[in-house]
Structure 1
Amino acid sequence: MKYNLPLAYLLATFAYLALCLLWIIKRSVEGFKQNLVHNADPFQSYCNKVFAGWDFCITDPSAARLKHRSLQYELQSDLQEEKLKQKIAERRMEEKLRIYSLRIFINIIVIAILSGCFYSIYRVTVFSQENSNDIGNANSQVNLLVQYLPSMVITLANFIAPLIFAFLIKFEEYTPAFEIKLTLMRCVFVRLANIGVLLFSLWSQISNCGSDKCKPCGYNYKLYPCWESDVGREMYKLMMFDFIVILAVALFADFPRKLLVTHCSCKLVQWFGHKEFGISDNVLEIIYGQTICFIGTFFSPLLPAIATIKYFIIFYVKKIVLKHTSKPAAKPIRASSSNFFFLVVLLIGLLLAFVPLGFSIARIPSSKACGPFRHFNTSWEVIPDTILQFPTGLQQFLFGISSEAFAVPFFVILCIIMFYVVALAQAHKRAVEQLREQLVLESRDKMFLIRKITEAQK
């Protein structure tokens, strides 16, 4: 047995993606359980917070104040949502028509903004790839600007589009929790789709053979002798520009705004006021950067180390910004359901990262000039090539597992197990409902007995 570097590289990629998937699913399931308990019965949720929400193991005064504020914030969020639901239920037909028409119009604007972002990124990426190598070394500054132009446009789109979405969502009159979720989904879509458009533009240029000479290789080896390194370089640029934008906003926007509001009595400045701490925006920045890390680690192995240093610095920058320059959001949100939703969005980012990685590993020919897979047609070919070196019995077993004769019964068994789990969950749900009804009946029996005892004593 020899150390197989291409196989180890590919298996390491599968291993970290599988570990990330399992960890995110584990955390999401925990949040899903809390979300189910919260949404089961609103009255039960209030009782849990009032009578069982306090932690009597807290001895530190600062921790006690923090827990007190957390419970107060949760109750405030629940009451405000109930108030908005009652207001929505009392709407007349004219108000519903006006709101639905306004929402349709706003969604058309959102689609137009997304289309403009995608088209701009595609055109800029094609322009950058076609002209970055034609400028020459004599004008290195212009060449550097052209090379970084796609990352700059993507960063600009990621910065401007969420501001427009946050402004438009105010006119759609949703509940605070759904407002944050919808804004987050729109922003997540534009950010992740921007990465997808960038990768599609790169791969369209990489696979574009202007002459018949590069068709046997399957990619444009003249402009992209090591196309994996070019993709990794683009992911590195996106991560660094995201880091620079976060620091620039904190240093040149948040702190000057705080100073102006504190020391300037101008009515316009006071009208802007302190910046609200947007939970969705800050979570979205983390999900966006982590998705870049998921995609770029295969092409740039040191990208997770850079991401670790980046988020270590960003954590303390955000902490300082939150403490000294921001104010709480005017519309409170429920923390439990939002945490579950944020993990689901991160899971979506990971699943979307599987698509370009799987396509590049299985379909795009590997570069012949560099990399551990230069002796293979595609990166995936290292797997069957390694299996062919195994003993005959092990080969037959592995090929049998990957065949249709095994896949179809395995899929049928999985469906049966899934139906059984769903039926079991429904049975447990009915049992819980019956137990809840039994508790209500027992409480009525106790009240009846108390009335009888009171009447007997009189």
Structure 2
Amino acid sequence: MRYNLPLAYLLATFAYLALSLIWIIKRSVDGFKQNLVHGEDQFQSYCNKVFAGWDFCITDPNAARLKHRSLLYELQTDLEEERLKQKIADRTMKEKLHIYSLRICINIIVFAVLSGCFYSIYRATAFSQENSNDVSDTNFQPNLLVQYLPSIVITLANFIAPLIFSFLIRLEDYSPAFEIRLTLMRCVFVRLANIGVLLFSLWSHISGCATDKCKACGYNYELYPCWESEVGQEMYKLTIFDFIIILAVTLFLDFPRKLLVTHCSCKPVQWCGLREFGISDNVLEIVYGQTICWIGTFFSPLLPAIVTIKYFIIFYIKKISLMHTCKTAARPLRASSSNFFFLVVLLIGLVLAFIPLGISIAHISSSKACGPFRSFNTSWAVVPDTVSGFPAGLQQVLHGIASEAFAVPFFMVICLVMFYFIALAGAHKRVVEQLREQLVMESRDKLFLIRKITEAQRHP
């Protein structure tokens, strides 16, 4: 018996990805159940808030005040959504054509912004990889800037693009819930796609071979003797720069803005006011940082510890900023109803993290100079090499599980199970609707009995 380090390293990667997937799916299913039961009847939401929303166990005045504000805010949100639905329903054909044309133009601008971000990242990565090897003592600072250039460009794109999207979304006249979801999807796409463009640029240079010696290795051995470390360094740089930007925005923008609004009476300053706490922006930062962590852990094993410390500090920074430098949103927003959507976005980030990791593990040749897989052609090669050392019977079982004869029936069984749960969810939905109709009938019966009692009392 011996400890197989390459196999343990690969299995640890599969383990943390599988646990993350299971946990996100579990939380998403819970949120989907709540939306299925509570997210359809708006009148039921009003009744619950008005007649059953107060907690009579509250004795502290501060807690009572917070609860009162929470109920008031939720009622304002419901009324705002109803007002917007009525506004959309009352639009004329001319207004619809105007808003649809405006949305098409804005989407073209969004596409142009995305294309500019992707091209800038690709060129910055190419320039950095071509010039980062010119290291000398006399040009240390310029070389350091060249090495960190892709991370700087990605950080600037992640900071500027959401500001542009947040400004443009206000012109499209969507409901607050859909507005935050569309903004979040655009920002998630640009951030995750930026990571994809960076990795594509790196792998195009890593896999680019100009000599026969390089082709024999399967990657650019001369420029990247240990390419896994190069990718890990880029993920580390993105994590550090993301933390620096969050810290700098809070310390050098939010707090000075708070001081100016508090102590300066100039009209431009008062017109700008305090910054609103954007739920979509903060959720996006978490999804972006977690996706970097998922991708970078395979190449930089200490990255999760760095990310843990990073978010521990960011939590308290955000808390202080929210309590002292932010104001309530001008448009009411139901954040609780978006929890399921936020988890779906996080699931998208995890699924997209599978793609570069899968390519790195199964397709790109592993480094011959360092790493636990230097004696294998690819990282995945450790699995068949380990299986070849098993007894013959166990090898046949594993090969049978990996064969098409097992995969096709297994896929069919999974589809049948999925269809069963879909049908079960539809049946539960119909039962919920029947129970709601029964509650309506019960309320009508009670009203009828009250009228009969009133008439009997008037005419004894």
* Alignment TM-score > 0.5, same fold: yes
1:192 aligns with 2:192: yes
Secondary structure at 1:300's aligned position in 2? Answer: coil
Asked whether 1:326 is paired with 2:321, we answer no
Query: Equivalent residue of 2:138, what SS?
Result: helix
Whether the aligned pair in 2 keeps the contact of 1:229 and 1:299 (CA below 8 Å) is yes
3-state SS of paired residue (2:217): coil
Q: CA deviation at 1:256?
A: 0.9
Shift of 1:59: 4.1
Checking the alignment, whether the CA contact within 8 Å between 2:21 and 2:347 is kept in structure 1 is yes
Partner of 1:18: 18
Change (3 A) 1:403 1:61: farther
Q: Deviations over 1:47-66 (max 9, x none)?
A: 12222223344444433332
Who is 1:296 aligned against? 296
Report how far residue 441 of structure 1 moved: 2.4
Q: Alignment partner of 1:223: what SS?
A: coil
Offset from partner CA, 1:19-77 (integer Å, 9 cap, x none): 11111112222222222233221111111222222334444443333232222211111
Match of 2:143 in 1: 143
| Equivalent position of 2:363 in the other structure | 363
Mark the CA change 1:72 to 1:382 in structure 2 (over 3 Å): closer, same or farther: same
Corresponding residue number in structure 2 for 1:375: 375
1:346 partner letter? L
Deviation at 1:342, TM superposition (A): 1.2
Code of the aligned partner of 2:277:
F
Q: Shift of the alpha carbon at 1:277?
A: 1.1
State the partner residue of 1:104: 104
Separation (CA, whole Å) in 2 of partners of 1:449 and 1:328: 46
Distance 1:59 1:342 in 2: 34
Superposed displacement of residue 273, structure 1: 1.0
Deviation at 1:405, TM superposition (A): 0.3
Aligned to 1:341: 341
In the aligned structure 2, how far is the partner of 1:446 from the partner of 1:259?
A: 59
What is the CA-CA distance between 1:450 and the residue it aligns to?
A: 3.0
Per the alignment, residue 353 of structure 2 pairs with 353
Q: Are the equivalent residues in 2 in contact too, given 1:35–1:336 (CA < 8 A)?
A: no
TM-fit CA distance, 1:332: 1.5
Determine the C-alpha separation between the residues in 1 that align with 2:61 and 2:445.
43
Contact between 2:132 and 2:143, CA under 8 Å: does it hold in 1? yes
* 2:277 counterpart residue number: 277
> What residue is the counterpart of 2:384 in the other structure?
384
Find the aligned partners of 1:299 and 1:58 in 2 and give their Cα distance.
Answer: 51
Deviation for aligned residue 1:103: 0.2
Kept after mapping to 2: 8 A contact 1:74/1:335: no
Per the alignment, do residues 410 and 266 of structure 1 end up closer, same or farther by CA in structure 2, a change over 3 Å counting? same
The residue aligned with 1:434 is 434
The 8 Å contact of residues 36 and 429 in structure 2, kept in 1 or not, is answered as no
More off after superposition, 127-136 vs 171-180: 127-136
- Cα deviations by residue, 1:232-267 (Å, 9 ceiling, x for unpaired): 000000000011111111111111111111111211
For the aligned residue pairs, the C-alpha RMSD in angstroms reads: 1.3
Matched AA of 1:208:
G
Please state how far the C-alpha of 1:452 moved relative to its aligned partner. 2.9
Task: Report the residue type matching 1:113 in the other structure.
Answer: V
Does residue 231 of structure 1 match 2:235? no
Which residue identity lines up with residue 85 of structure 2 in the other structure? K
Instruction: Report what 2:171 is aligned to.
Output: 171
Matched, 1:4 2:16: no
Is the Cα contact below 8 Å between 1:169 and 1:183 reproduced in 2?
A: yes
Q: Which amino acid aligns with 1:6?
A: P
Q: TM-score, normalised by structure 1?
A: 0.97
Q: What does residue range 301-316 of structure 1 map to in structure 2 within 5 Å?
A: 301-316=301-316
Query: Contact conserved, 1:7 with 1:382, CA < 8 A, in 2?
Result: yes
After TM superposition, give the deviation of residue 135 of structure 1 in Å: 4.6
Where does residue 62 of structure 1 map in the other structure? Answer: 62
Whole-angstrom distance in 2 between the partners of 1:262 and 1:448: 59
Describe the superposition over 1:173-205 as per-residue Cα deviations: whole angstroms up to 9, x where unpaired: 000111111111111111110000000000000
- In the alignment, the residues of structure 2 paired with residue 420 and residue 17 of structure 1 have an alpha-carbon distance, to the nearest angstrom, of 27
Is residue 277 of structure 2 the alignment partner of residue 267 of structure 1? no
Aligned to 2:408: 408
**C-alpha distance 63-24 of structure 1, shift in aligned 2 (>3 A):** farther
CA separation in 1, counterparts of 2:15 and 2:60? Answer: 42
Q: Is the 8 A contact 1:232 1:300 kept in 2?
A: yes
Question: Do the aligned partners of 1:99 and 1:172 also contact (CA within 8 Å) in 2?
Answer: yes
- Quick check: 137-146 or 151-160, which moved more? 137-146
Task: Look up the match of 2:424.
Answer: 424
Return 27-36 or 198-207, whichever deviates more.
27-36
Equivalent residue for 1:245? 245
SS at match of 1:40: coil
> Partner of 1:215: helix, strand, or coil?
helix
Equivalent-residue separation in structure 2 for 1:36 and 1:368 (angstroms): 53
Q: Secondary structure at the match of 1:268?
A: helix
Deviations 1:76-133 (A, max 9, x none): 1111011011011000000000000000000000000000000010011011001100
Amino acid at match of 1:411: F
2:114 match: 114
Identical counterparts, % of pairs = 81
Residue 454 of structure 1: how far off its partner (Å): 3.1
Cα distance in 2 for residues equivalent to 1:5 and 1:420: 42
The answer (yes or no) to whether the contact 1:293–1:303 under 8 Å persists in 2 is yes
Contact 1:34/1:336 (CA < 8 Å) preserved in 2?
no
How many residues end up aligned between the 2 structures? 458
Aligned-partner Cα distance in 2 for 1:448–1:146: 80
Find the residue that maps to 2:139 and give its secondary structure. helix
* Cα separation, 1, equivalents of 2:79 and 2:328: 17
Q: 1:427 offset after TM fit, Å? A: 2.0
Aligned to 1:428, the other structure's residue is in SS state: helix
Partner of 2:92: 92
**CA offsets, 1:396-433, max 9 Å, x none?**
11111111000111111111111122222222222222
- The secondary structure found in structure 2 opposite 1:216 is helix
Shift of the 456–323 alpha-carbon distance from structure 1 to 2, 3 Å rule, reads closer
Query: In structure 1, what is the Cα distance between the partners aligned to 2:253 and 2:432?
Result: 52
Q: Corresponding residue for 1:124? A: 124
**Structure 1, unaligned runs of 5 or more:** none
1:317 aligned to 2:317?
yes
